[in-house]
Copies of this chain bind each other. A is one copy, B any other.
Amino acid sequence: MKDLLVNLPGYALRRASAAMLSDLSAELAPLNLRPTYASVLVLIGGNAGATPSSLGRALGIQRANMVPLIAHLEELGLIARTALDGRSFRLDLTALGKKHCQIVQDIFDKHEERLLARIPSEHRAHVLPAVRALWQE
């Protein structure tokens, strides 16, 4: 089978992203968190008092799609909401949330290590700046 797609960086990005996401999902499964939920948790951990809207803007997730994410993290007892004014509220980690956040960050770090280990050393340092240039700015 002649694969005409493997030399397309967009296609390669898609396959790599899917593979990484699949691995990370398995690593996060014991915490009852999927990658998106874990990302929100970590971001709240580093930004106490953030609102769903501000988190959504940082993560590229729309307001409407933040609702079930926040609700689930709250159900798990990992975050708590406090009214800021009549229409918005701040989010903070609970004690349990802080524990889980630390575990998630360890999983993220190990995941990143394994990921970088797969890349030939001469290319390794170029990946992050190159890939970030594709979606940032």
Which A residues fall within an 8 A CB radius of B? 1-21, 24, 35, 39, 42-43, 45-47, 50, 54-55, 57-60, 108, 111-112, 115-116, 118-120, 122-124, 126-136
Contacts and interface: CB of A to CB of B under 8 A. Distances in A.
A136 B39 CA distance: 26
Nearest to A10: B20
**By DSSP majority rule, is chain A's interface helix, strand, loop, or mixed?**
helix
B60 A128 contact: no
A9 B112 contact: yes
A7 to B, nearest CB: 7
Contact of A134 (B5, B8, B20, B129): B20
Contact of A10 (B7, B54, B57, B115): B115
A1 B128 contact: no
A9 B43 contact: no
Contacts of A42: 4-5
